Structure 1
């Protein structure tokens, strides 16, 4: 599953775009350097029923922003992403490039 596919699945499961979850995380102070991933994972599990893998995708976005490694960009594998910048504003508004 690509990184973007994880975010799209999070939106489907929670009814909230990754951007909305990011905004909520920022309001809670979860982007601060001292906040551990486990705290964020627990919040996402408790509030939204996310499993660890999906929650860790959001941890990346919360802690590091929408940029990802170019490792799988442009490859043919199952982890292939179209770009090194994740789309956070929801499936309905995603450019079809």
Structure 2
């Protein structure tokens, strides 16, 4: 499965885009000034996505990867 396919499946399941998740992560304090807070672990984010949005580990990691990527 391609990375884009993961993101498409997440949008279908949750109705949310990576940008939507980024805004939610900012509200939770995982992201500040557009960047991941250095003390936040991937596990904290993936656990949140699994619990609140019923994502699997791979899909949660795909969202985490979008948080880590630099805007183009």
TM-score (structure 1 length as normaliser): 0.63
The number of equivalent residue pairs is 67
Judging by fraction of residues, say which structure has more helix: 2
Would you identify which runs of 4 or more consecutive aligned residues in structure 1 move more than 4 Å? none
Could you give the per-residue CA deviations for residues 48-73 of structure 1, whole angstroms, max 9, x where no partner exists?
00000000001111122466xxxxxx
- Which runs of no fewer than 5 residues in structure 1 stay unpaired? 68-97
TM-score (structure 2 length as normaliser): 0.82
The alignment partner of 2:40 has SS state of coil
Could you give the per-residue CA deviations for residues 31-51 of structure 1, whole angstroms, max 9, x where no partner exists?
211100000011001110000
- Which of 1 and 2 has greater Rg? 1
